[in-house]
């Protein structure tokens, strides 16, 4: 029988094929067609390496989990220690040493005067569901308010509060009486809360999809209103928490004290699934006074030793490196650089986000050739231009970025806190090169998208046009020698 090492060595370069066969047939095919299916065989810090030795800068970070970079030595050591010590795991009838330690560390960074209890879960969406269940139970109300453009996960309660209708398609009816409201519109929030029937108001301090930042003034007024009308304020910091936007908790940093805060992604250094819900003493006491029969919350694997140990190491590391301060420095460099590029290219509409959760929205250029391509692409898919930029950043410059959400004409980055000044410079140069290239005849966003994973967009555009027009945007057929312009990452 093969050891794990032997199995990995044997399969690592065909992993994409096995996944294509058994796990993600459609997705892998699209990635391959778009030239985005690089097989990475090593990961270290902010970099991924392919079997050919190509180096990629990872500003996507597994969807925001690798704030400390991949395979962080401290997190790895914590996992090894737990396995080597052979301490008991999941005893159920016994308190978990590591769960208690992690809870204390999380409460310390949140401010022990603010929060006193922590419940653990296995994923972000599970932590959302926990808060929804608690809010219903405590208030005995059924209505929830969520923000347009919000994302809180994909379980039933979470998807019911998803502010992107596309993600709910085909799943209705979902949880009843969940009302979307506009972000940063305090009058709208007040109007809805006044009805006195709202169990919870859930929000992300910085929205993961739209990258809209909630104004601290709005949050502070919202806190007062929620108290006044007996509604629980729930801050979803699954993505925005643990220094991603600067402070350890975005809401606390904005000067508010929501009833519950969820965290997940960054929490275990990307190594083991984990999530946590921090709650105030009032919420905890109310829950346990009302709940008489058995535990109000339990999940088999939630406090497993590996997740707890990885999370302890991660929180300790974030504290020791003073992550909030480093995030501010990197954020300023990135934002200033992006604003400077924006001033030179009219296709950039605005720079958005906060901390290391940043993005750029695009708009129609005044350059006629480029504007025509943009309109053609976007008639088929609102986010097509952003998708082209995303493809070029990866294929030409070996930088992983992402499209923030469906139909959003934008590019998003989630760089790790270990990003260097040199990485920032490399990213900014690559981004400027990508944008500048669309103003030349040599490069075309339509052609880029043709190798991207929204291939269907190109087909739709082709179908809508007189024969031959599209080829004028395609000086030569897409080929493997296209791109890889910048070689510093090799
Ligand atoms: C703000 C927010 N909440 C919840 C979730 C769901 O987390 P998970 O994918 O771990 O269920 C996500 C995931 O991206 C998120 O960004």
Q: How far is the CA of 377 from the centre of ligand 1 (A)?
A: 29
Pocket of ligand 1 (CB under 6 A): 63, 123-125, 128, 151-153, 204, 208, 236, 238-239, 264
Q: What is the DSSP-derived secondary structure letter of residue 473?
A: G
Q: Cα separation of 438 and 435, whole Å?
A: 6
Residues 387 and 427 in one domain: yes
| Average pLDDT of the chain, as a whole number | 90
Looking at the domain assignment, is residue 29 inside a domain?
Answer: no
DSSP helix/strand/coil, 349 = strand
Residues 92 and 185 in one domain: yes
Residues 327 and 345 in one domain: yes
Q: How far is the CA of 489 from the centre of ligand 1 (A)?
A: 30
192 token code pair: 């809805």
Residues 155 and 191 in one domain: yes
Average pLDDT rounded to a whole number, residues 16-33: 77
Which pLDDT score is estimated for 478?
40
Looking at the domain assignment, is residue 328 inside a domain?
Answer: yes
Distance of CA 145 to the CA centre of its chain: 21
Average pLDDT rounded to a whole number, residues 382-403: 94
Looking at the domain assignment, is residue 150 inside a domain?
Answer: yes
Per-residue pLDDT reduced to its tens digit, 165-217: 888 889 989 999 999 999 999 999 999 999 999 999 999 999 999 999 999 99
Residues 413 and 340 in one domain: yes
Which pLDDT score is estimated for 412?
98
Q: How far is the CA of 274 from the centre of ligand 1 (A)?
A: 11
Residues 81 and 205 in one domain: yes
Q: What are the phi and psi torsion angles at 213 (to 5°)?
A: -95, 130
Residues 308 and 328 in one domain: no
pLDDT band at 36 (very low <50, low <70, confident <90, very high): confident
Q: How far is the CA of 404 from the centre of ligand 1 (A)?
A: 13
Per-residue pLDDT reduced to its tens digit, 219-262: 999 999 999 999 999 999 999 999 999 999 999 999 999 999 99
The answer to whether the CB of 62 falls within 8 A of the CB of 48 is no
Residues 280 and 368 in one domain: no
Q: What is the pTM of this model?
A: 0.92
Task: Name the pairing type of β-strands 40-44 and 47-50.
Answer: antiparallel
Q: Cα separation of 197 and 192, whole Å?
A: 9
Atom of ligand 1 nearest to the CA of 204: 1
Distance of CA 390 to the CA centre of its chain: 16
Residues 327 and 351 in one domain: yes
For a ligand 1 pocket test, name from 151, 157, 274, 307 the mutation site with the most ligand atoms within 8 angstroms of its C-beta: 151
Which pLDDT score is estimated for 486?
44
Which residue range(s) make up the domain with 47?
34-64+323-471
Q: How far is the CA of 158 from the centre of ligand 1 (A)?
A: 9
Q: How far is the CA of 220 from the centre of ligand 1 (A)?
A: 24
Looking at the domain assignment, is residue 26 inside a domain?
Answer: no
CATH number, domain at 305? 3.40.640.10
The residue whose CA has the least distance to atom 6 of ligand 1 is: 153
Residues 362 and 422 in one domain: yes
Q: Cα separation of 224 and 396, whole Å?
A: 50
Nearest to 70 by CA among 62, 78, 79: 62
If one compares 121 and 34, the residue with the highest pLDDT of the two is 121
Looking at the domain assignment, is residue 460 inside a domain?
Answer: yes
Average pLDDT rounded to a whole number, residues 37-44: 86
Q: Cα separation of 450 and 435, whole Å?
A: 17
348 token code pair: 């950039």
Residues 305 and 331 in one domain: no
CATH number, domain at 435? 3.90.1150.10
Owner of token pair 């604003």: 339
Say if residue 31's pLDDT is above 80. Answer: no
The answer to whether the CB of 484 falls within 8 A of the CB of 56 is no
Which pLDDT score is estimated for 34?
64
Q: Cα separation of 145 and 193, whole Å?
A: 9
Residues 270 and 332 in one domain: no
**Domain total of the chain:** 2
Percent of the chain with pLDDT over 70: 90
The residue whose CA has the least distance to atom 16 of ligand 1 is: 239
């Amino acid at each position: 029988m093969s050891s794990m090492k032997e199995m990995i060595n044997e399969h690592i370069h065909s992993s994409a094929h096995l996944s294509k066969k058994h796990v993600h047939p459609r997705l892998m095919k699209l990635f391959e067609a778009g030239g985005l299916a690089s097989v990475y065989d090593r990961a270290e810090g902010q970099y991924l390496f392919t079997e050919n030795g190509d180096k990629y800068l990872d500003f996507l970070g597994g969807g925001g989990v690798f704030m400390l970079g991949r395979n962080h030595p401290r997190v790895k050591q914590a996992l090894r220690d737990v396995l080597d010590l052979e301490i008991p795991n999941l005893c159920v009838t016994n308190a978990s040493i590591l769960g208690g330690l992690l809870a204390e560390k999380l409460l310390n960074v949140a401010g022990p005067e603010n929060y006193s209890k922590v419940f653990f879960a296995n994923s972000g969406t599970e932590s959302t569901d926990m808060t929804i269940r608690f809010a219903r139970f405590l208030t005995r109300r059924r209505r929830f308010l969520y923000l347009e453009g919000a994302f809180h996960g994909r379980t039933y309660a979470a998807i019911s509060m998803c502010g992107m209708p596309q993600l709910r398609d085909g799943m209705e009816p979902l949880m009843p009486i969940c009302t979307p409201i506009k972000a940063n519109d305090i009058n709208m929030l007040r109007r809805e809360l006044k009805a006195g029937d709202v169990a919870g108001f859930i929000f992300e301090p910085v929205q993961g999809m739209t990258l809209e930042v909630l104004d601290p003034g709005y949050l502070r007024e919202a806190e007062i209103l929620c108290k006044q009308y007996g509604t629980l304020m729930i801050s979803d910091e699954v993505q925005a928490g643990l220094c991603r936007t600067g402070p350890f908790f975005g809401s606390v940093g904005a000067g508010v004290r929501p009833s519950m805060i969820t965290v997940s992604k960054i929490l275990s250094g990307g190594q083991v699934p984990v999530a946590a819900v921090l709650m105030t003493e009032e919420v905890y006491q109310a829950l346990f006074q009302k709940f008489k029969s058995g535990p109000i919350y339990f999940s088999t694997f939630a406090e497993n030793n590996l997740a707890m140990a990885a999370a302890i190491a991660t929180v300790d590391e974030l504290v020791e490196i003073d992550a909030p301060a480093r995030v501010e420095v990197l954020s300023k460099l990135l934002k200033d650089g992006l604003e400077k590029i924006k001033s030179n290219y009219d296709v950039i509409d605005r720079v958005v986000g906060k901390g290391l959760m940043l993005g750029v929205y695009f708009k129609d250029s005044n350059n006629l050739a480029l504007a025509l391509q943009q309109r053609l692409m976007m008639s088929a898919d609102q986010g097509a231009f952003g998708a082209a930029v995303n493809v070029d950043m990866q294929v030409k410059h070996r930088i992983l970025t992402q499209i923030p959400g469906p139909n959003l004409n934008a590019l998003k980055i989630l760089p790790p806190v270990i990003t260097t000044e040199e990485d920032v410079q490399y990213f900014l140069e690559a981004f400027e090169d990508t944008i500048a290239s669309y103003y030349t005849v040599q490069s075309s966003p339509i052609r880029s998208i043709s190798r991207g994973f929204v291939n269907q967009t190109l087909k739709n555009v082709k179908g809508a046009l007189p024969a031959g027009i599209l080829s004028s945007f395609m000086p030569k057929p897409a080929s493997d020698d296209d791109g890889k312009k910048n070689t510093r990452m090799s």
